[in-house]
Amino acid sequence: MARYPGGTPVEGGYYWNPRRWTITPVADEGALLPGDAGERYLKVHWALVFLLAPVMGGLFVVLMPFIGFAMLLEWALARAGRLLRGGARDLGATVAPGWRPGEAHLTGGPGEPPRGEVAAGGAGEQALEDVAREIEKRRAGGNGNGKGD
């Protein structure tokens, strides 16, 4: 049996593609085999075609239920994948921060004071009171360096 790539001119006869399980009859001399160069065909004798065709049909009939189960399994897995992918997308949209053009997210919230200013109340207020006491103490006691004027 001679091997021929797809798309080549061949002489008349029967050509079997084992990958696709098809038998292609070629009636005219110089006709092109279907497919591209990646397809492979075997030239088979006409008597072998009469044996090969019923075997191929019988295998198809026997394997048809398994093909159906495989198609059902593929459909179920694709459906489950779509559901999981959709759930993951929804979860990601829920936990991701909303994007608003023109807003910087790492500069503090709208209620926080700018970096150099001290907020009223809390530790900042206590620090201001400590500084005010230190100023009063220095004014009352001189220059505050302990040497006295």
- pLDDT (tens digit, 9 = 90+) per residue, 74-94? 999 999 998 888 888 888 777
* Residue 9 vs residues 19, 41, 61, 140: alpha-carbon distances, Å: 20, 12, 33, 113
Cα separation of 42 and 133, whole Å? 103
Domain for residue 57, yes or no?
yes
pTM for this one?
Answer: 0.41
Domain for residue 140, yes or no?
no
- Domain count of the chain? 1
Host domain of residue 50: 3-63
Domain for residue 37, yes or no?
yes
In one-letter notation, the amino acid at residue 129 is E
Domain for residue 50, yes or no?
yes
Domain for residue 33, yes or no?
yes
Domain for residue 42, yes or no?
yes
| 60 closest CA partner among 46, 52, 25 | 52
Domain for residue 16, yes or no?
yes
| 35 closest CA partner among 26, 45, 27 | 26
- pLDDT (tens digit, 9 = 90+) per residue, 89-135? 888 777 766 667 766 656 556 666 566 665 555 566 778 888 999 99
